[in-house]
Structure 1
Amino acid sequence: MRREGLRYLLPQGFFGLAWTEWGPRDGSPILCVHGLTRTGRDFDRLAAALAARGRRVLCPDLPGRGASDWLPDPALYVPATYVAALGHLLARLDGPVDWVGTSLGGVCGMAVAATPGNPIRRLVLNDIGAVVPGEALTRIGAYLGQEEAFADLAGLEAHLRAVHAPFGCLSDADWRHLAETSARHRPGGGLALHYDPAIAVAARNAAPGDLDLSPIWSRVGAPVLLLRGAESDVLPAATAGAMGRRPGVLVREIPGCGHAPALMEATQIDLLVDFLLSGA
């Protein structure tokens, strides 16, 4: 695993985008983009498996998360900013890429894949679809952006186990990995989650009701693997079924998970490896 970074430009200035990278530098690249409050380290296990097959895997921390810079204005924490930042990384790669996107990372992937001349060859959407129910957005907003302090890593891990129980039946080692890669030290002592609490502002100011991404989804032409947690409230079965009726879209339901499958379990990893390496 290598730690990398670049500077990207917004109207407000230059900011740092960080990522972890796996596999040979000359390998065919795969971009793995995490969910709303997570970091690129969520993909360590998947990235290692793909790197072992000769692929170059890049796992960025979205702006305001992980090792990437926080932004000066909470209003900047929107998908358009994330796509702009990731666009700098895509420009550096300057060629075809495969994209794995969990939740928000999938929204960004759809936005890029819907753009004329985009470089996406294959797209994995992990528990995100053309329409997100308003009730699910309300549930997520209830825990988003709370600046909680934890005395130690065990306390932070307990919080993650409660909030992210829908990730599925993870091992103790998996939960500890998520905790270790989710923690930052607070100036006054203790630990906090490794994201800017201001990411909640844009979400709270969003219009109520369902999030309709169907105009973007309708322009995605790449082959798609759509994963759905069997108990997900973010990607209803009816939405996944409708998306799966389109040619080139493969839908797979992951049992024992809600929003969103953690992609840390062997059968989930094998499913992605088979899809991403097909025809490679």
Structure 2
Amino acid sequence: MSPNPAPRPSASDTPPRRRSVQCAGPHGLHRMSYLEWGDADNPDVLVCVHGLTRNGRDFDELARAMAPHYRVVCPDVVGRGLSSWLPVKTDYQLPTYVADMITLIARLDVDSVHWVGTSMGGLIGMLIASIPDNPIRRLVLNDVGPVVTAASLARIGQYVGMAPVFPHFEAAEAYIRAVSAPFGHLSDAQWRQLTESSVKAVDGGWAMRYDPGIGEPFRQTPLLEDVSLWPIYDAIGCPTLLVRGAESDLLTRETADEMGRRGPRARLVEVPGVGHAPTLMDAGQIAPVRDFLLAAGAAGGGR
């Protein structure tokens, strides 16, 4: 990766390319779909990974902003979007996702990447970035850290995989607005965009674009305490930006402050009026991420 990715002005006007890569899981093979934005020959790669029930289309606006500088790759984590569904639902676990991402990076044929991860996507990035000789040189954690609160996991467990088939698109949008209320204020156009990327037409109406089975690990092992991953965070050595929704119930301000004092000593940016998690859909949220990724010497890694 070059020290400061140079702009490629025409890249932001090029439609994204849909591709897929075959990955090996605990119980066989599956395909992971991904969108690729910008110049396909650009050696500077930005990988953007979404949250638990979301998919790679969440990063459309960020990808457009970064495509002049990067080949931007936005995967649909297995079980979401256009990727395969796993036959054994307990395989929907972080080790599976980490292995898939390593396979994806090998397919991209690059030695290093920058990484933006929202919630689950941030956890995947943290795990990879904590491994010796890993490929991540710059890391953005969007509303996630080494402590995941039990309260937030309980809230998520109440709805993940439980959505009905909606009789019409408007009912699907109402559901997306309800479960995604912590995203904060979005325009009607943005809510519609999120809904269009979240549901698909099925017999009888509209259904969420993910395998309901991703919720099984939550319900099989209910958590009564916060999840702590401090040893993993402390092993990260690349420059790290932490974006936090100021009203987040998943990433507390106490944890965010501690992340600035230890491990990679993440720089904190808070988004007012937003819970879990900032959508990175508007210019105000994109700007600090863009500036961090394009900082002079950003590809150098290290502390």
Q: Does 1:45 align with 2:61?
A: yes
1:110-259 aligned within 5 A: 110-186=126-202, 188-206=203-221, 207-246=223-262, 248-259=265-276
Cα separation, 2, equivalents of 1:138 and 1:228: 20
Q: Match for 1:274: what amino acid?
A: D
Q: TM-score, structure 1 length as denominator? A: 0.96
Q: How many residues of Structure 1 are paired with residues of Structure 2 in the alignment?
A: 278
What corresponds to 2:10 in structure 1? Answer: none
Deviation digits for residues 15-54 of structure 1 (CA, Å, limit 9, x no counterpart)? 1100111011122100000000000000000000000x32
Q: C-alpha deviations, 1:52-107, integer Å up to 9, x for none?
A: x3211000000100000000011000111111111100112331100000000000
Ranges in structure 1 where 5+ consecutive residues have no aligned partner: none
Moved more, 203-212 or 14-23: 203-212
Kindly indicate whether residue 87 of structure 2 is the aligned counterpart of residue 72 of structure 1.
yes
Over the residues paired in the alignment, what is the CA RMSD in angstroms? Answer: 1.1
Q: Distance in 2 between matches of 1:70 and 1:185?
A: 17
Please state how far the C-alpha of 1:11 moved relative to its aligned partner: 3.4
Q: In terms of mean alpha carbon deviation, does 123-132 or 85-94 score higher?
A: 85-94
Q: 1:7-22 alignment to 2 at 5 Å?
A: 7-22=22-37
Which amino acid counterpart does residue 156 of structure 1 have in structure 2?
A
Q: 3-state DSSP class of the match of 1:84? A: helix
Aligned AA (2:80): R
The percentage of counterpart residues that share the same residue type is: 51
Contact 2:26 2:91 in 1 (8 A): no
For residues 152 and 84 of structure 1, the distance between their equivalents in structure 2, rounded to whole angstroms, comes to 37
Task: Tell me how far apart the structure 2 counterparts of residues 168 and 139 of structure 1 sit (CA, whole Å).
Answer: 17
Whole-angstrom distance in 2 between the partners of 1:204 and 1:139: 12
Counterpart check, 1:260 vs 2:272: no
**CA distance in structure 1 between the aligned counterparts of 2:207 and 2:258, rounded to whole angstroms:** 40
Distance in 2 between residues matched to 1:166 and 1:248, nearest whole Å? 26
Asked whether the equivalents of residues 21 and 107 of structure 2 are also in contact (C-alpha less than 8 Å), the reply is no
Q: CA deviation at 1:248?
A: 4.4
Three-state SS of the structure 2 residue aligned to 1:151 is coil
Partner of residue 56 from structure 1, selected from 49, 59, 71 = 71
Q: Distance in 2 between matches of 1:183 and 1:95?
A: 35
Distance 2:290 2:269 in 1: 14
Question: Are the aligned partners of 1:222 and 1:248 in contact in 2 as well (CA < 8 Å)?
Answer: no
Distance 1:210 1:81 in 2: 22
C-alpha distance in 2 between matches for 1:9 and 1:90: 14
In structure 2, stretches of 5+ residues that fail to align are: 1-15, 299-303
Q: What is the distance in 2 between the residues matched to 1:147 and 1:166?
A: 18
Deviation beyond 2 Å, 4+ runs, structure 1: 205-208
1:110-136 Cα shifts (integer Å, max 9, x gaps): 000001110001000000011111111
SS in 1 for 2:97: helix
- Mapping of 1:97-116 within 5 angstroms? 97-116=113-132
Between 244-253 and 41-50, report the one with greater CA deviation. 244-253
Distance 1:54 1:250 in 2: 22
Name the TM-score, length of structure 2 as normaliser: 0.89
